[in-house]
Structure 1
């Protein structure tokens, strides 16, 4: 059965909130409004195995899908998305504070998914398994209809946004789980043709609910 003939509730999607090496990454797999799986791992290969086992179609990842370009940046980050500016790989490697550790972990996640779910390089879904970059803050803004949401209230606001969509948020025990679920929901929106793409093919796209 192809994705085109499957009912939306039968299509599995995933979201991954990328963290530092100590905290690891949080994974949420959705089928329709059902939260099918919640998991945590420091190993990108484990996350990939969960998604392959669940026959996930699209994976939304909260991490840059590529490094910045010196002097140019990324188009998606120059548009109306409030997020960290992605440095060049050389600048990230030269930084000794450890701040960019999560970006290197994100790179490992994309690499683990590359053969089965390559990064989507177009601004809309074309039916094949794919990974996409997304960003929980921008997702929440889109869902709540605001240009900005409160960092202090992000747990409450993100839980409320998911509950309003019909998800059982009691299964999502941390802000990282909530963020992973938001990323997975954006993957659903992409499949349904309800996602907006920021950026371009050269700098990589960031997707949020339309």
Structure 2
């Protein structure tokens, strides 16, 4: 991690679980907030002069019948995620499942005026926020044949430990996932990421296969 700038990751949860923020400077955890409002998390990012924020939630709703290209591209690599609905579909759902996506929307609404949303191919300014996905990050490190949802607690902590982040300070998998998002923010600043998706549906950013000799399949590609 050579960027030298503070970075942040946010794990988005529903109203009950709440959102989790981890801020890293190098490999040091300098801030870890749980169940705070987006406004409070933004204040902390300003306080620690954060340059990039990775967010584990869709940055765009689906448009029309077609799914988001980012999710399709990951699925082509056998990396699957929840299919983001249209906002209208989410609003009409009675299950409450999409509450976390609305919480994510609020986080982007609060952060984007100050941390512009990542656009692939454009130069990153002083600040940026972007969508990422802890399972896809784990696949980038370990290979999708090895990455396992059942072992995510162990595997994701091991990734952080390998990178020099003291994962024992993180109490829950939500904290761990927020730290993985922050880790990816470091790689974004260093230009060592892969961006899946398009401008219409937004981009999902994950570490590039080449970083730290990651074990990944040779068929990993992106659109």
TM (norm. structure 2) is 0.87
Listed as ranges, the matches of 1:66-77 within 5 Å are: 66-77=60-71
Counterpart residue number, 1:4: none
Q: Does 1:16 align with 2:22?
A: no
Q: CA deviation at 1:27?
A: 0.3
Structure 2, gaps ≥5 residues long: 209-223
CA-to-aligned-CA distance 1:107-156 (integer Å, 9 cap, x gap): 00001112110211224652331110000000011011334622111100
Structure 1, gaps ≥5 residues long: 1-6
Contact 1:59–1:130 (CA under 8 A) maintained in structure 2 = yes
Q: CA deviation at 1:35?
A: 1.1
RMSD of equivalent CA atoms: 1.5
Counterpart residue number, 2:114: 116
Counterpart residue number, 2:168: 170
| In structure 2, distance between residues paired with 1:155 and 1:196 | 24
Correspondence for 1:200 among 189, 198, 211:
198
Contact 2:3–2:186 (CA under 8 A) maintained in structure 1 = no
Moved over 4 A (4+): none
Contact 1:123–1:205 (CA under 8 A) maintained in structure 2 = no
| In structure 2, distance between residues paired with 1:154 and 1:178 | 10
Listed as ranges, the matches of 1:1-210 within 5 Å are: 8=2, 10-80=4-74, 81-123=79-121, 125-147=123-145, 149-210=147-208
| In structure 1, distance between residues paired with 2:123 and 2:186 | 10
Between the two proteins, the alignment pairs up a number of residues equal to 204
